[in-house]
């Protein structure tokens, strides 16, 4: 910016101000310049700038109405004698809920470009910045990538305000803080950083802000830009920043002491720091019963192992270690491979690539043609290839199981990173057998062990082993058994009151009486007892209660 300090501020002359705006924004068709004459007698001219499409018509109409008609009427009726034009307009004319006065040209430009209106009044040094943002957005919809059976159906949208509101609606915590910044020299994309001051680790927010501030880029079009620019190990196939479309996932991450990064114009919100195991955990795990939740989680762990290793192990066994296959199975495999002209490794690569092709084509195809791909693909892979003798039926099964398993991983970015690291494993085990497999697997394991995500070990809580966090790793413990927040959280680490395991009332001592009066009485006394207990027992929640002023108790009394 080569403007001088004089140039960067507005003056009292309307024409000059208009010229300044015009100089910077040019004559774009969507830039609307609306001239308004204000105050019947004095005939002060003023100009309203806004961008057509970004500013809501309703809001702009309101401004014009106030300036041209209602404001004048009001002043006349009340015989107001205020000479200062700025104060008059500020206090008695504009009826919009939020506006501010600014003097810098730069700020005015950003305001106009982000959908607000700028009102310049002749003779006023300050310009009125009126919030008129309002454009068409997609409504809150079910998230496309992370679907659940049980759980909320609302997903993030492209509007950052809607997104933060979705999280705020889930956490009415006064300690939930949202900080804003804008990244991108040209795009000036809004970024919000969300965290709960009571649970977030010291220094984590600063680190996130530092990394975000370091980003110098012309434009941010999706949170993927940010993800790549703040990742700890840029060359790793593993994703160290989790992205999600689900507000409930973000809310739970915030409760665990993580930091969420909202980016405008994308439904994908980033969560840091991220553990690898998070990618294998679905929201359903927490909403279903703990037994079902744990079972499905274990299924997903199995799917992870299968999608990573099954093809490699098959190739390794069939081309190097035939003695390790049980005899009847060895015969079956051999019979299927009898006329296959390719070595197993090539056969596997062929099938894997065909599978990836089908997946990619299915994704890119226009929806109406999508069906054709699946029909042709399944015919080619399932039937024709086997009948033509190009691949063995066993290989088809192996690749299909591997593919299905990779889809069972709830997070898409994790599933493609696993799909990527599968190929070096496959080539190593196809060329060096068990030796190659174990060496490549060790290399991958060592790499995964070495990387960090915002100061946290990527494979935690498995390594370094954190006993308390095991309650929510391989299996999910019932809610009433998970008293503490994960190791990651700081400050308020207790999330559960004492004696939360539910149990029926003592059957022997106080049998339920059929008499209505007695029952209601006993219930009342029991409720009182419970209330007292609340205050006595819940040590961890006391701090929060004090802050919220015991609202709950008061309401109950009413």
Which residues lie near another protein (CB under 8 A)?
A: 318-320, 322-323, 325, 327, 330-340, 343-345, 386-389, 392-393, 427-428, 430-433, 436
H helices, E strands: number in the chain: 20, 12
The structure tokens listed for 199 are: 């649970």
Nearer to another protein, 260 or 340 (CB): 340
Q: What is the DSSP string of 205-219?
A: HHHHHHHHHT---S-
Between residues 318 and 459, which has the closer beta carbon with respect to another protein?
A: 318
Closest CB 502 distance from another protein, rounded Å:
50
Minimal distance, residue 337 CB to another protein, in Å? 4
Comparison of 335 and 532: residue with beta carbon closer to another protein: 335
Q: Please say which residue, 263 or 349, places its beta carbon nearer to another protein.
A: 349
- Rounded Cα distance between 87 and 90, Å, is 5
Q: Report the residue number, 376 or 384, with the smaller CB distance to another protein.
A: 384
* Shortest Å, Cβ 328 to another protein: 8
Structural tokens at position 224: 């993927």
Spatial separation of the C-alpha atoms in residues 544 and 492, rounded to whole Å:
9
Task: Work out how close the CB of 378 gets to another protein at its nearest, in angstroms, rounded to a whole number.
Answer: 16
Instruction: Select 330 or 538, whichever has its Cβ closest to another protein.
Output: 330
**Given the complex with another protein, which of 332 and 354 has the nearer CB atom?**
332
* Contact criterion met (CB below 8 Å) for 75 and 88: yes
In this structure, the number of other CB atoms found within 10 A of the CB of residue 94 comes to 17
Are 458 and 451 spatial neighbours (Cβ–Cβ below 8 Å)?
Answer: yes
Q: Which is nearer to another protein, 297 or 337 (CB)?
A: 337
Q: What is the DSSP letter of 253?
A: H
In whole angstroms, how close is the CB of 324 to another protein at the nearest point?
9
Alpha-carbon torsion (395, 397, 403, 409), positive or negative? negative
**Measured from the CB atom, is 328 or 502 closer to another protein?**
328
Q: Which of these, 541, 535, 536, lies nearest to 483 by C-alpha position?
A: 541
Which lies closer to another protein via its Cβ, residue 151 or residue 430?
Answer: 430
- The count of other CB atoms within 10 Å of the CB of residue 122 is 17
Helix H or strand E segment including 287: helix 284-287
Q: In sequence order, which residues have a C-beta less than 8 Å from that of residue 476 and are 6 or more positions away?
A: 285, 286, 290, 293, 294, 297
Long-range contact set of residues 9-16: C-beta below 8 Å, sequence gap at least 24: 9/103, 9/104, 9/105, 10/103, 10/104, 10/105, 10/108, 10/120, 10/125, 10/126, 10/127, 11/125, 12/122, 12/123, 12/124, 12/125, 13/122, 14/45, 14/46, 14/47, 14/120, 14/121, 14/122, 14/123
Q: How far apart are CB 315 and another protein at their closest, in Å?
A: 10
Phi-psi region of 549 (alpha: psi -120 to 50; beta: other; left: phi over 0): left
Name the minimum Å distance from CB 351 to another protein. Answer: 14
| Nearest distance, CB of residue 389 and another protein, angstroms | 4
Give the shortest CB-312-to-another protein separation in angstroms: 14
**Contact partners, residue 32, CB within 8 Å, separation at least 6:** 48, 49, 50, 51, 52
Kindly give, in sequence order, each residue whose CB lies less than 8 Å from that of residue 150, ignoring residues fewer than 6 positions away.
284, 287, 288
Nearer to another protein, 402 or 429 (CB): 429
Q: What minimum distance in Å lies between the beta carbon of 385 and another protein?
A: 10
Shortest CB 430 distance to another protein, Å: 7
Angle, alpha carbons 428-326-296 (nearest 5°): 70
- Secondary structure of residue 121 in the 3-state scheme: strand
Q: How many CB atoms lie within 10 A of CB 361?
A: 16
- Please state the closest distance from residue 330 (CB atom) to another protein, in A: 6
Question: What span, in angstroms and rounded, lies between the C-alpha atoms of 249 and 462?
Answer: 21
The distance of closest approach from Cβ of residue 426 to another protein in the complex, given in angstroms and rounded to an integer, is 12
Nearer CB in complex with another protein: 178/386: 386
Secondary structure of residue 50 in the 3-state scheme? strand
Q: Which is nearer to another protein, 401 or 432 (CB)?
A: 432
């Amino acid at each position: 910016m080569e403007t001088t300090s004089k140039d960067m501020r507005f003056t009292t002359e309307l024409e000059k101000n208009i010229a300044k705006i015009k100089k910077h924004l040019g004559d774009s068709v969507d830039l609307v310049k609306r001239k308004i004459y204000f105050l019947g007698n004095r005939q002060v001219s003023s100009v309203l700038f806004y961008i057509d499409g970004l500013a809501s018509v309703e809001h702009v109409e309101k401004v014009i109405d106030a300036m041209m008609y209602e404001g004048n009427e009001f002043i006349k009726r009340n015989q107001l004698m205020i000479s200062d034009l700025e104060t008059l307009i500020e206090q008695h004319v504009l009826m919009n809920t939020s506006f501010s006065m600014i003097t810098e040209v730069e700020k005015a430009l950003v305001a106009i470009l982000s959908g607000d209106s700028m009102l310049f009044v002749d003779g006023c040094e300050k310009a009125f910045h009126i919030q008129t943002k309002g454009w068409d957005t997609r409504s809150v919809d079910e998230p496309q990538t992370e679907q659940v059976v049980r759980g909320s159906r609302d997903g993030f949208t492209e509007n950052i305000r809607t997104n933060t509101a979705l999280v705020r609606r889930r956490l009415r915590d006064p300690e939930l803080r949202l900080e804003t910044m804008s990244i991108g020299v040209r795009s000036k994309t809004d970024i919000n950083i969300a965290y709960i001051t009571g649970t977030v680790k010291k220094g984590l927010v600063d680190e996130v802000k530092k990394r975000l501030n370091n980003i110098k880029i012309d434009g941010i079009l999706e949170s993927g830009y940010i993800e790549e620019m703040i990742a700890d190990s840029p060359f790793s196939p593993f994703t160290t920043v989790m992205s999600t479309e689900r507000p409930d996932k973000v809310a739970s991450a915030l409760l665990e002491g993580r930091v969420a990064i909202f980016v405008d114009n994308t439904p994908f919100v980033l969560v840091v720091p991220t553990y690898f195991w998070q990618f294998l955990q679905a929201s359903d795990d927490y909403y279903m019963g703990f037994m079902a939740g744990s079972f499905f989680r274990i299924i997903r762990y199995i799917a992870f192992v299968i999608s990573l290793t099954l093809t490699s192990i098959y190739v390794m066994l069939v081309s190097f270690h035939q003695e390790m296959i049980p005899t009847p199975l060895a015969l079956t495999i051999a019979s299927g491979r009898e006329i296959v002209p390719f070595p197993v490794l090539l056969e596997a690569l062929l099938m894997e690539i065909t599978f990836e092709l089908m997946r990619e084509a299915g994704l890119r195809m226009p929806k109406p043609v999508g069906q054709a791909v699946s029909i042709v693909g399944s015919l080619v892979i399932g039937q024709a290839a086997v009948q033509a003798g190009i691949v063995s039926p066993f290989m088809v099964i192996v690749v299909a199981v591997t593919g299905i398993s990779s889809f069972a991983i709830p997070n898409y970015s994790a599933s493609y990173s696993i799909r990527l690291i599968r190929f070096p494993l496959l080539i190593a085990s196809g060329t060096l057998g068990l030796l190659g497999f174990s060496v490549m697997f060790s290399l991958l394991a060592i790499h995964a062990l070495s990387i960090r995500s915002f100061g946290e070990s990527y494979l935690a809580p498995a390594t370094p082993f954190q006993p308390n966090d095991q309650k929510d790793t391989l299996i999910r413990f019932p809610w009433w058994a998970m008293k503490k927040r994960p190791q990651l959280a700081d400050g308020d680490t207790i999330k559960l009151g004492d004696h939360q395991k539910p149990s029926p009332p003592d059957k022997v001592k106080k049998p339920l009486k059929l008499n209505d009066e007695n029952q209601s009485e006993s219930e009342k006394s029991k409720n009182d007892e419970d209330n007292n207990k609340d205050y006595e027992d819940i040590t961890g929640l006391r701090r929060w209660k004090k802050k919220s002023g015991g609202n709950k108790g008061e309401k109950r009394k009413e």
